[in-house]
Amino acid sequence: MNGKSAAGIRAIGLILICLCLGIAPAVASGPERPAEVSDFVLDDLDGNPVRLSDFRGRAVLINFWATWCGPCVEELPTLEGLRRHFQDRPFSVIAINLGEDAQTVRDFLDTNALKLNMILLIDEGGTVAETYCVRGLPATLLIDRDGRVVFGGVGQRDWNSPEVHAEILPVLE
């Protein structure tokens, strides 16, 4: 396979990944412009509706998780650490629980003595996860201040690591 064919296949693969995440690629503006993320409304643990578009002007890290997902649970404290690390910046961390009700999540947090000040939302029916084609947990999106996806991935990360902080910092500036 020549270099042009391999590059073309990689480009098509990236576009398919973007489409599967529920985002439309900004083809007309070129590859340097990330795609915009779809808006959603979900309830927090107290039943208050939260809209993603309310965070326009802030970078947002969205993490899909579940109480039964071991890597997700291990990752939660590092997400809270990331939130604290950038708390004086225009940055929010939103953890979206997939497939469980608010009481189940509250009980889980209490039982495990998890004190999380990040935004916790409930996607009990999985509609938002389906919109973003979440196929594995934990799944994460990093959205810039203009509502464009700059990172998407599946799998556990240490959100407290200096390398991750260095990756996120340019999105905040």
Q: Which H or E run includes 62? A: strand 59-65
Query: Other CB atoms closer than 10 Å to residue 160's CB: what's the count?
Result: 15
Position 95, amino acid: A
| 147 phi-psi bin (left φ>0, alpha ψ -120 to 50, beta other) | left
Mind listing the pLDDT tens digit for each residue in 81-99? 999 999 999 999 999 999 9
| 137 phi-psi bin (left φ>0, alpha ψ -120 to 50, beta other) | beta
Range of the domain at 46: 3-172
What total of structural domains would you count in the chain?
Answer: 1
Strand order across the beta sheet in which 41-44 lies: 49-51, 41-44, 119-123, 91-98, 59-65, 139-143, 149-154
CATH of the domain at 103: 3.40.30.10
The pTM of the full predicted model, rounded to 2 decimals, is 0.80
Mind listing the pLDDT tens digit for each residue in 51-78? 999 999 999 999 999 999 999 999 999 9
Is pLDDT of 9 > 60? Answer: no
Question: Which whole number is the average pLDDT over 12-20?
Answer: 42
Is pLDDT of 101 > 60? Answer: yes
